[in-house]
Every structure is written in structure tokens, then in C-alpha cells.
Structure 1
Amino acid sequence: MKEQIIEINVNSLEEKYEFNKVAKQASGAVMYRQGKAVLIAAVAIDEKAVDEDFLPLTVQYMEKSYAAAKIPGGFIKRETKPGDFETLTSRIVDRSLRPLFPKGFYFPVTISIMVVSSDEEVDMQVAALHAANAALFISDIPFATSIAAVRIGTVDDDIVINPTLSQQGNSELDLLVVGSGKDVVMIEMRTLASENESVQNANEFHEAALVDVIATAGEAIEKATSAYEEAFAPLVREPLELTLAEDKVDESLYAYIENNYASDVEKAISHMAKSERSTELKKVRTKIMETLESAGKEADKELVSKVLERYKKTVVRAMILDKNIRADGRALDEVRPISIETNLLPSVHGSCLFTRGQTQALVTVTLGDKKDAQMYELITEKNSQSEKFMVHYNFPGYSVGEAKYIGAPGRRELGHGNLGKRALEPVIDLNYDGSIRLVSEILESNGSSSMATICGGALALRGAEVEMVDLVAGIAMGLVTDGDKYAVLTDIMGLEDHDGDMDFKVAGTVHGITALQMDIKLGGIDLNVLRDALEKASKGKNHILKLMEDAEQNIVTSEALPSTEHFTVHPSKIGEIIGKAGATIREIIERFEVSIDLDRDVGGVKVAGGDKAKVEAAKAHIENIASAPVKKQMEYKVGESYQGKVKKIVDFGLFVEMPDGFDALLHISKVAKERVNDLPQRYSEGDEITVVVMEQKGKKVELATPEYLA
């Protein structure tokens, strides 16, 4: 195979694709270049299909330290566990490509993306998506669709397509849209508040404006996918002869279930609305099999399960589209009942138990110092970064009734935690002088647990008295379509997520959206449907916010909440607060049982402790030190005697406190005519001593004893 190089310039991206150059034994591979960034993407397939009814797709995005001319930090000098950015990027690539595989494709596929050279201005997520897309498109896997990713930002209030990383740093909008042709398949959005902004200026994006921006992204995607398909088409390899699984349904068995067990299935569906477990449906399956066996008919458990699942899905969708009835009896735009309890954990800085229907999140907030921030590295940054607002999401098996070991968080947990962080961060004061860790423990789940994390998280932050602009609520929307008919569902549960066509999560304040995440199972969504979904999401979000505002009024401050005082003194006084060798500040810390952080440049002082009275006393003590008049050094007359006090005895002489309060050195050679080695025997700290000033240069005063001069 001859090496092929294709250069494409579209949507402000200058990309170079090198095919048949690397990883030639893979099903498809490419060396992708953009600026100084170089990525290698390779696709491999196992031609033996799995028995399960799903696509076993594995995506791994890996950043190599050498790509940025670095050696990995820590004890082990090689890449080990992937970082959060790598995991989240892998997840984005998976969510973008998975919906486009043909129906019935159940062959294990791996997509590996390595960053082997970095660029401080290149968006690695867009680069990873395009590299993976090219490798998959030209591979021998029957995959005839190209995707394109578009990042939208704002620069000086202007919409910019695919901004550079430095432009993204100044943008108030971060919108990633992935699609194919005219179809949008994945959206990730967040708003960004400038670190120079005060907490009074949160950044939300209005729902109506967002649809127009997505439409702009859609036009750019259509342009890009056309360019990619045209350029890559001549390089597509001979496709493998793969037999796709046929979605066959035993029509007679389907009709038998429909005619004889319709009421049993509807009753089971109503039970499934209360839990993600399908126990009731299993009971129906057992009943069907027993009836068939007693009638002397063959009853294959796997076949009955598959047909029953198909019928159940048909019933759920028909109830919604034809009757506007949901499994739990709610109206299409109705939010499940909500209960909220705040600061229920006495030894925690802030906490909230947020329950919506059969989804429950216990969210806690812990406040820490700057040193408690999470350190991390990005391949596009030279220096280590510090994450001072952390959101950790945990999803134990018992939350859905599963007997499952609780281990390290997986991609789903990291993704949901990241969504919660993106939703809440825009309303928090970014100038907060410390670290915040928010942890969400999902105790029960039947859909929208990430949104419960956001709602409970906002109230837990309020409970910890973190300065915020507004409360943030999150809501998960669903979609069911059939031809020209569609229904938008508010606050979807697990059953509706499983059998629906869209998972659309929206979070924000009363003024607009702070974060959004959408995955489409259809292969695309009409913008009018998207606009309708956003309008209904706004209505549901505001309903939840009203309940949260009511709960906020009942927050009782936690006894565990540390008291913190922020104030400023004149920068010249910081040295006096510290004292010689840190003696003064150590004495304050021990006496008042507080921690103290100082900023020498601006004179900033932060005092924190568990006892409010002691914190206030420490503040008063520091302010007294800072308000004391500035000591002025005397002008001494050379040759005259003065009374001093021995402050400290050292090997090379004595430090003497002079009448003006400043210390001067009496060198051992100036004590007597002959060298004296027994100073500790002759003098004690605190002794009065007569000294003669030999010379004064600024603050430096040279002393001698009268004995020396005699």
C-alpha cells in the first residue's frame, strides 16, 4: 500500500492525514497532524461477534509524556493510570462514534488514539475525534459514515468556530458539537466565568440563543463531513465480510404475548417505573414459559426474553406517543416528587439529601486550604495545574439493587462528576482562597442521578456557606419519536432512558444554562425538536429551583463549618506578623489554634479555625500588630555609649537590642582586646550591657564594649 497524504482546510482547521504510513497491520490507521500536534489513531476488530445484543466498542485516548518533552513525574517513570482528561476524551469519542455503527454490529472493536507530539494551541478533543474518524472510515470495517467535531467559543462577544486553546481561555462559552452530515449526534456545553470576574457576574447562556449557535455548528459539521468523505473515499479498504446480527422477532410468539399477556406487561412496566431492576418482567417471562411448557410447546428462555423485551419497549413508546401516558402515570412535562434535607450530617461542612422520585443523592461539601487542591498536568500546558473545585460522583451497585463490589470510579462516574463540576463551577466565586471538594453518593437510582448531584450539590455548597451567585438545578429530558410524531419527556427515569431515543441533560440557573450534555440514539435530531426540548427543560428546571429556594431558607449552619476571616493589612506589616524566623506567627497559631495564610504582595491575611471566637481574637491580635506605629531607627553618634540588652548569644558574638528596639551585632572580636571564648559564662540573655557605637551604615550598626576601647 502506497503512503497517501491528504491535507484538508475546513472550519479554521488545517489538518494533515497520513495514511498507509504507520500501524499497517491494524484494520485502519492514520497519522494525524494539526500544527505541532501529532496523533496516531488505529482501529482493530475481532471478527468473532459476541453473543450479547450490544456493540463492544472500546476507545482509548492516551497522552504520552514525551509528546510534550516531559518525563512522567512520581516514582514510576512511565505512563500508568490515565488522567481524567484522557478518560473524558475517550468517553466523548465513544459517544460520538457508537451511534453510527450499523444495526446488528456486535463485533469487538478497539479504537486507540495516541498523542505523540503536543501543541499548546491545538484542541486535543477535536483532534482525537477527527483522527479516530479517519482511521475508522478508511478501515476494512463496514462503516461508511464520517463525523466531524466543531468547538464553538466566543471572542469579544463574537461566535468563533474552533477557537485555539488560548482563545478558549478567554471565551465565556465552550460548546462541542459532533455530527454527521445534517445530523447532530452529541453535544457537550458549559459556560466559563473569567477568573477576573466577581461572584456577582455568573455566566449563563440563554436557551433560545443556544439553538441558533448549535445551528451554526451544524452547518460547519455538514461542510466538514462532506470534505472528509470526499477526500477519504478513494482510500477505503476492502470491507470485511461480516454477518450482522438480524433483529428477528418470532412474530407468532410476539402475537401470543400481545394477545395473552398485555395487562401483565403493563403492570410490570408500572413496577419498573419504581426501579431499574426488571424483577416484575422476569416474573412475566416465567409465567409465559410455564404456560408454553404445560401446553407442550417449545419455550426457549433467551427467545422469550428477547421478544418480551421488544414488546415491552413497544408498549412503553406507544403509551407515550398515542396516549401521552408514562409508566409511572405522570404527565409528559411533570417532574417527579422532590424532597430535600439540608445539613443533616453534623460533622460535615455542608450536606444535602436530595430525593427526586426513586433517585436519591447524598451530597457533601468539604472546605480546605490551597494545599488541598488537586494537582494535575495537561499535555498542552508546560506547568502543573491546580483544581481547587473538585466534584466526585460515586455510583454503588446497591443503588439499583445489584450485589456489586464498590471499586475505583469508572468512566461513567468520572463523566457524571465532570458534568456536575461544569454545571456548578460558573456560579462559584473563582477567587475563593481555598479548595472545595463536593462528593455525591448515589443511594438510589432510577434515572437522572447526575442531575440530582447538581441539585443537591448546589444546596450543599449553600450549606457550607460557599459564596455563589445563584442556585443551579439539573434536569434530564428524553425523546420518543416515530415518523412525524414525537414526544419530549421531562425528568426521565431509567425505563424511559433505556427505551427512548435521546438522553438530554440540562443544568442552569433561573437566567439560563450553565452546562448541557446530549446523546442521540437516532443518528440526529431536528432543531425544532431541540428547541422544544430546551423550552420544556427550562420549565422543569425552574420548577425544581423554586423547591430548592424554599429549602435554602431552612438551612441551619453546620457546627463543623470552620470560621474564616479574610482581611488585608499594609504589605510592609507582613514581616512583623511573621516575626523573626517565624516566631510571631507560630505563637499566634499555637495560642489561638488557627491556620494563617499570608499574601506578601497585597497584604492579604486569611485566618481559619474551628472556633469562631478564637478566629476573631486572632484577627484582632494580627490587626493590633499591623496597626502599631512603625519603628524608626535612631541616628547614633559614633563614639558614644548606649545602654542595650543582650537579646541572643551566638558563637560569633552577641545580638544586642538597642534603645530604638532594633538589634545590632556585637562581634566577639569587639568584646575585649584579647579574644573572649567564654561569652555564655560572662553574659546571659536579658542582661543590661553598655556598648559603644563604632559605625552606622543605614540599619547596620557596629558595636564595641568600653573594655575593648580602653
Structure 2
Amino acid sequence: MIGKTYTTMLGDRELTLETGKLAKLVSGSVTLRYGDTLLLVTAQAREELSTLDFLPLTVEFEERHYAVGRIPGSFPRREGRPGERAILSARITDRQIRPLFPKGYRHETQVIITVLSADGQNLPDVLGPIGASAALSISDIPWNGPTACVRVGQIGGQYVLNPTTEQLGQSTMDLVVAGTRDAILMVEAGAQTVSEEALVGAIEFAHAGMQGVLSLIETMRAELGHDKFNFQQDSDLSLDHVPALTEAARASGLRDALLTPGKKDRGARLKALRESLISAQVPNPEADGAAALTAQLKAAFGKVEKAELRRLILEEDLRADGRNTRTVRPIWIEARPLPRAHGSAIFTRGETQVLGVATLGTERDAILIDDLSADKEDKFLLHYNFPPYSTGEVKRVGGQSRREIGHGNLAKRAIRTVLPSFEEFPYTIRLVGEVLESNGSSSMATVCAGTLALMDAGVPIKAPVAGVAMGLVMEEGRYRILTDILGSEDALGDMDFKVCGTAEGVTALQMDIKIGGITPAIMREALAQARDARLHILGKMAEVLSAPRAELAATAPRIITVKINPELIGKVIGPGGKQIRELEAMGASINIDEDGTVRVFSADGAAAEAVRARIESLTRTAVAGEEFDGTVVKTTPFGAFINLFPGQDGMLHISQMSEERVNTVEDVMNVGDKLRVKIAGIDDRGKIDLVRPELEGKIAPREPRAPREGGERRGPPRR
């Protein structure tokens, strides 16, 4: 038999890992099945040492449309670049496995996850990391796993392990957790305003639920795992200079330089100090070996700077900008800085600044989705832009990076839960976060700026949302949690923990650990500290905009909703679309749903009202007893046809025209005459019988129409 299979229960379903059957030339290859979702995961590393000075790891998440029995919707009808969901799924795996590669490992490594089958209920994004962990564990690639990844939902107050897509629709949270035997490595969550304690409980539930998967991978590794290759690691000669350089730097004012206010000024002072120390060690830059020694000293100074910053935090509760570990940077906000945008706001926190812009559009502006999910479109878009000038750099400007997509998705999850339903507010909403300055926590500033822009646009959100990024410095059992981290603290710290929410609870959370993991106790403390910061930020936002504006901006388009009988949709469209083209030529866009909901969209309120009136006229339904000032449009020997409103005529019988006998219709009325009429009745075929209200009770009512054998009765009844 080809291949070997391992199984365990994950939640209420069986998880199967198989190896030795597919892709056997790769270092590590595993197929994973959960329900009818099937993935192939491979791991491979180059033998040659990379020249890069960081871990050259890439993770690819490949969606194949045949997995759901569809042909791609692109013009060439084949898969193109990864979509947003595929990129986010790849990031989940990357963030789980990256911290566990050995320090100094510099071999180019690639993990590829290919979705071969997707059943629509068991989502592949949390299965890919399990497959990657198994593939790396049995490969010859040095890696300190295994890890596992699970999803947790909450339905009726009860946690659910790996909920199906259907169950997620009923859940108050969507929490993805990755971890090892003893610690949590990564958390990603969206929630409907849940408490911090509920999130910690869900994380603990997830950690307990993944233990069976970890045992399964450990068994696979013990039985089938290859010996890990001895990776090449350049000796770090800069370490030899650290002790002496530390002493010299402290004596030359390193502490004061690190505590210089302002990122630019602080950088300039540190650069001057570094060059002074290096010039003392390398007096002749042109001498043999001077360039190599200079490079070593520069690297050593970076280590000294990082170590001193960590010492200040741990021992003195003091950070680079002079704050303690619990203080939020100064905040200033401006609402509606852009005169033509539908909604806009500038949110500045310290040296991080984001311009949030809200744009309202029609249902036609919703983004079309062409991936393996069941969703066809999304009416809420959030785009996060991180230009190089925001950090004072010069770089190539191209398409969105994976980082921008990931940060934008976090902000989107944070805000989506407070948006009104489409029935309440029938607009497609686009938010853009333009990062103008960045010194840490720009994604959280995007949440704040985006919320303010929505309120400025008059979007009736349920509650304002704010976000804050937390950090961690941990050494030898000591630790401090940092509120509102700087860019340098993100680089030197051991955790990046972003929390978003309202005053009532959390709406989104993202955590990445750079060490072996943290305990639930530390996470509980970090969440509590983040809540204090979030409430402070929400208070500052409320000073500028405490609630959504009562009216939409003058530049914002108006949407008017009209409900019509679905059987009358054809009247609005007209033959070949003639009628709807005439309506849109009046200055509006029109969208019609199958249930008869018509949405009229126009930047001109008067034009929208005119179109609505026309639609109501076209689709008006006659009701017995109504009276109209009608116009005679046709006469016949037995009566006259009266137009009541556009598209609707009724018949006034000759016997109902006068108290006296009428010989011919033309003796009483002619085409074009106007008269008051009343609907006496409507038969089952929609034919309308009219009477003259002033003659009611003076002449005998007409006998109801009766179908004649072989056809409808025509002409006056016998007298």
C-alpha cells in the first residue's frame, strides 16, 4: 500500500494526515483531509546558504477552482495571482511557523499549500497550518515544531471547536489560534463585541483542543521523520564587540540619546554617537580590514541599542519617547479635512498619522469575489495604503503588499461588526486608510480614522471603534507589557498584540509572538491594559465626533428605496430595457432586486425623487373604491376607456354614463375629455369597471362581466 495514514478527532470530525503517496520528491509532503476538504502541503529548503540577513521563508496558499467544481472567472479561465483570502490564509501559516525556525537559519525555505478539494463547510485556512507543521516536522528542514492551529466559535454562550461555515454564521466570534504544547504563538479574531474574558476563555479552549493534533504530528515525526540537516550559520563576529561597545556607549551618553523626543532627532543623535564610537575604533577607514571591522561595529551597536532599550523598559519603566509602559501617546483629531469626500478624518497619535476617507456607492459598486468561498460579493471595502514617505524612505511604489492586505483586513474586521445592515443603510461602503506618518501602530490608527470618517459621512454605526497595539518585553521571568508601541519597540519587543473594540467589548484581535509563546495569564493582563488604552482613545474621539452626523454630507449620493410588486418589474424595465434607460437618463442609477426592491441612487436629491415618483406611477396598482380624475383615451359602441394613471385604463360602460338613456358614447364624451371616475370593481383578470361617483345611487349598477362561452362578452348587456 502506498503512503501511511494517521487520524485523530478534531472537534466532532475526523482529521486525516497522509504522507508517502503524493509529491514524494520534496523534503516534506503531507495530504490533509477534514470532511471533504483536502489539501496538499509541501515543504522544501535550498541546500545553499542565502546571502540575505533575515529568514528567507515564503508561504504560498494556492486555491484551485476545480476544488469546488468551478472554472475561474478570469479572462484566460485559469487561476491568476492569489486573491485576498488566499493571501490572508498564507499569512496565518507564516505567522505560526516562522518563530520556530532556529536562530541564524538562513536557507531559503518554501511551504506551498494547495487546496485540492473544498466542501464549503470545513474552511482550509486553519487546515493549511496543520499540514505545514506536519510537512516541516517529517522533513529534513531544521524546525522546532510541531505546532497546530484551530478555529473557535461561540454559539449560545458555548465554545465550538472548528465550527463549520454554517455554524460560523451563528457565532459571536471567529477566533483562530496557533500554538505549541505549552504556549500560544498566534491569535487572529473577529468578534461581535465580546468581553476580554470570553476571548481568553476561547483561547484556552483552543489550546486544549489542539493537543490531539500535536500528538498526531509527533507520532508521524517519530515514525517517519528525516534527520535534520546541519545548516550553515555564519559566525556573528559583532558579538565579540558588544561588551566593550556597551561600556563605551553608556559612558558617551547612550541613555540620553535613546530618550531624545522625536523619531528623527533620536535617530540623528544615535547615528552621531555610533559614528563617534566607530571612528575611535577605526581611525583609518582606508586601512586593510577597516571596512569589515566597521560593519561588525555597526551590527554590534544595533545590539547594544536594543539591549539598552529593553533594560530601560524592564528596570526603569521608561521608554524611548519618555513614556511609561501604560501611557498612550498624545492624540489630535480633525474631522472633515477633505471638502468633497463623503466622510473624512485625520487621526494622529504621536508620530503615527492616518487619513481616513469614506466613500458611499451603490450596490453595483460591491466587489465581486472569485475564490473558493460561497460569497459572491462584498459591500464593505477597506483599503490600507502604506506609502514609503510615511516612514521617510524612498522605495518602489507598486501594488498592495501582503502586509498592507493583512493590516487592512484587521481594520476591516474591527469595523465591520458595528456597520448597519444593508437593509438599514443600502450603500456599498469603501474606507481608505492613507498612512501619512508611521512610527508604530498604523493599522490601529486606521481603525480610529476609519471610524471617524464613517461618522463624518453620516453612516449610522452602532458604536465607535478604536484600536491599540500592545507590546511585550520578557527576560528571565521578568516582563512588562507596553501600551501603544513605537516602531522601534515592535522591532525590539517579543510580542505584537493589536486589540480593537468599542467601549463594550472587543471586535478584533491579532497577536504575533516572536518568542516561544506566552501564557494565558500574560494575555489576560495585556487585554486588560489594552482596554484601558482603548477607552482613553475612544474618549479623545468623542471630543471631536461623539456620534454619526445626523445628515449625509452634501456631496454624498442619496439612495431612495421603493418596494413594488415583483410582477411589475417588467414595467420598470420596459421592452428591451427602454423604460429603465429613460429613467436613468433623468439623473439616477437604478438597481432592482427579484423581490421587488428598487433602489434609486443619485447625487441629485431632486432627480432621485423624480425617478421615484415615475417608478411609483409606473407600478401603481388600482384598488376598488379609489377615485381618479381620468382622461378618455378610447370610445367604443359599449363604453369608454378611461386612463387612470400611466399604464392603467378602466372601462366606463355606456349604461353608467348618464341617468338618461345614452344612444352613443359620443353623445356624452369624446377622446381627450376629463372626468371624475371611481373603481367599482376589478375582476380576476385585472379588468377594471368604472362608475361616475356623482351618479351612484341614481342609476342601477351594471351587472358584473361574465365570460361568454368561447370568449369574453362584448358590447352592452340586453336591456
Pair in the same fold by TM > 0.5? yes
CA displacement at 1:3 relative to structure 2: 2.8
2:551 matched to 1:560? no
Q: How big is each residue's C-alpha offset from its partner over 1:547-603, in whole Å with a ceiling of 9 and x where there is no partner?
A: 111111596963311233345466677666667776666555444x333444463x5
Match of 1:147 in 2: 147
The residue identity in structure 2 corresponding to 1:28 is G
Secondary structure, counterpart of 2:399 in structure 1 = coil
2:395 matched to 1:401? no
Match of 2:199 in 1: 210
Q: Which moved more, 1:303-312 or 1:46-55?
A: 46-55
Change over 3 Å in CA distance of 1:659–1:461 after alignment to 2:
closer
Match of 1:667 in 2: none
Match of 1:518 in 2: 511
The residue identity in structure 2 corresponding to 1:313 is K
Distance 2:19 2:204 in 1: 32
Change over 3 Å in CA distance of 1:108–1:185 after alignment to 2:
same
2:584 matched to 1:595? no
Q: Is the 8 A contact 2:357 2:432 kept in 1?
A: yes
CA displacement at 1:428 relative to structure 2: 0.3
Distance 1:276 1:399 in 2: 16
The residue identity in structure 1 corresponding to 2:218 is E
2:451 matched to 1:458? yes
Distance 1:107 1:442 in 2: 34
Q: How big is each residue's C-alpha offset from its partner over 1:160-212, in whole Å with a ceiling of 9 and x where there is no partner?
A: 11112221222121011000001100000111xxxxxxxxxxx3110122212
Q: Is the 8 A contact 2:258 2:266 kept in 1?
A: no
Change over 3 Å in CA distance of 1:360–1:661 after alignment to 2:
farther
Q: How big is each residue's C-alpha offset from its partner over 1:248-293, in whole Å with a ceiling of 9 and x where there is no partner?
A: 5444553234234554433443458525995543333322222222
Secondary structure, counterpart of 2:510 in structure 1 = strand
Q: Which moved more, 1:603-612 or 1:447-456?
A: 603-612
2:221 matched to 1:226? no
Give the alignment partner of residue 448 of structure 1, picking from 423, 441, 448: 441
Secondary structure, counterpart of 1:204 in structure 2 = strand
Change over 3 Å in CA distance of 1:262–1:229 after alignment to 2:
farther
Q: How big is each residue's C-alpha offset from its partner over 1:518-546, in whole Å with a ceiling of 9 and x where there is no partner?
A: 00111110211111110110000000001
Match of 1:337 in 2: 330
Distance 1:607 1:357 in 2: 44
Calculate the aligned-residue CA RMSD, in Å.
Answer: 3.5
Secondary structure, counterpart of 1:660 in structure 2 = strand
2:654 matched to 1:660? no
Change over 3 Å in CA distance of 1:622–1:263 after alignment to 2:
farther
CA displacement at 1:463 relative to structure 2: 1.3
CA displacement at 1:484 relative to structure 2: 2.1
Distance 1:484 1:645 in 2: 91
When the two structures are superposed, what TM-score results if normalisation uses the length of structure 1?
0.84
Pairing of 1:277-288 with structure 2 (within 5 A)? 278-288=267-277
Give the alignment partner of residue 422 of structure 1, picking from 413, 425, 431: 413
Q: Is the 8 A contact 1:480 1:500 kept in 2?
A: yes
CA displacement at 1:330 relative to structure 2: 1.0
CA displacement at 1:611 relative to structure 2: 2.9
Give the alignment partner of residue 490 of structure 1, picking from 483, 495, 499: 483
Identity %: 38
CA displacement at 1:354 relative to structure 2: 1.0
Unaligned runs of 5+ in 1: 192-202, 647-655, 663-685, 689-695
Change over 3 Å in CA distance of 1:521–1:546 after alignment to 2:
same
Match of 1:675 in 2: none
When the two structures are superposed, what TM-score results if normalisation uses the length of structure 2?
0.83
Secondary structure, counterpart of 1:427 in structure 2 = coil
Match of 2:382 in 1: 391
CA displacement at 1:380 relative to structure 2: 4.6
Q: How big is each residue's C-alpha offset from its partner over 1:493-526, in whole Å with a ceiling of 9 and x where there is no partner?
A: 1011000010000000000000000001111102
Match of 2:5 in 1: 5
CA displacement at 1:101 relative to structure 2: 0.9
CA displacement at 1:231 relative to structure 2: 3.5
The residue identity in structure 2 corresponding to 1:370 is E
Change over 3 Å in CA distance of 1:557–1:119 after alignment to 2:
closer
2:542 matched to 1:549? yes
Secondary structure, counterpart of 1:113 in structure 2 = strand
Pairing of 1:683-702 with structure 2 (within 5 A)? 698=685
How many pairs does the alignment contain? 650
CA displacement at 1:15 relative to structure 2: 2.0
Give the alignment partner of residue 324 of structure 1, picking from 317, 323, 327: 317
Distance 2:265 2:619 in 1: 62
Match of 2:17 in 1: 17
Change over 3 Å in CA distance of 1:425–1:294 after alignment to 2:
same
Change over 3 Å in CA distance of 1:639–1:569 after alignment to 2:
closer
2:522 matched to 1:533? no
Distance 1:584 1:43 in 2: 59
Secondary structure, counterpart of 2:304 in structure 1 = helix
Distance 2:387 2:187 in 1: 27
Match of 1:55 in 2: 55
Match of 1:30 in 2: 30
Match of 2:295 in 1: 302
The residue identity in structure 2 corresponding to 1:407 is G
Distance 2:452 2:393 in 1: 29
Match of 1:693 in 2: none
The residue identity in structure 2 corresponding to 1:351 is S
Pairing of 1:106-505 with structure 2 (within 5 A)? 106-191=106-191, 203-247=192-236, 249-271=238-260, 274=263, 278-294=267-283, 299=290, 300-381=293-374, 385-431=376-422, 432-505=425-498
Change over 3 Å in CA distance of 1:107–1:582 after alignment to 2:
closer
Q: How big is each residue's C-alpha offset from its partner over 1:456-514, in whole Å with a ceiling of 9 and x where there is no partner?
A: 00011111111210000000000111122111111001011000010000000000000
Change over 3 Å in CA distance of 1:598–1:295 after alignment to 2:
closer
Secondary structure, counterpart of 1:238 in structure 2 = coil
Change over 3 Å in CA distance of 1:79–1:318 after alignment to 2:
same
Change over 3 Å in CA distance of 1:304–1:226 after alignment to 2:
same
Q: How big is each residue's C-alpha offset from its partner over 1:368-420, in whole Å with a ceiling of 9 and x where there is no partner?
A: 11111011133253xx5111101111111111111112110011000011001
Q: How big is each residue's C-alpha offset from its partner over 1:289-348, in whole Å with a ceiling of 9 and x where there is no partner?
A: 222223899651221111101100111001111001110011211111111111111111
Q: Is the 8 A contact 2:100 2:144 kept in 1?
A: no
Distance 1:51 1:658 in 2: 84
The residue identity in structure 2 corresponding to 1:477 is M
Distance 2:267 2:402 in 1: 24
Q: How big is each residue's C-alpha offset from its partner over 1:643-668, in whole Å with a ceiling of 9 and x where there is no partner?
A: 6699xxxxxxxxx9976399xxxxxx
Distance 1:276 1:426 in 2: 40
Change over 3 Å in CA distance of 1:705–1:11 after alignment to 2:
closer
Unaligned runs of 5+ in 2: 654-670, 674-682, 688-706
Q: Is the 8 A contact 2:189 2:509 kept in 1?
A: yes
The residue identity in structure 1 corresponding to 2:407 is H
Distance 1:217 1:644 in 2: 74
Change over 3 Å in CA distance of 1:237–1:561 after alignment to 2:
same
CA displacement at 1:434 relative to structure 2: 2.8
Q: Is the 8 A contact 2:249 2:277 kept in 1?
A: no
Change over 3 Å in CA distance of 1:23–1:314 after alignment to 2:
same
Pairing of 1:616-635 with structure 2 (within 5 A)? 616=609, 618-619=611-612, 629-630=622-623
Secondary structure, counterpart of 2:381 in structure 1 = strand
Distance 2:266 2:365 in 1: 39
CA displacement at 1:4 relative to structure 2: 2.0
CA displacement at 1:69 relative to structure 2: 2.1
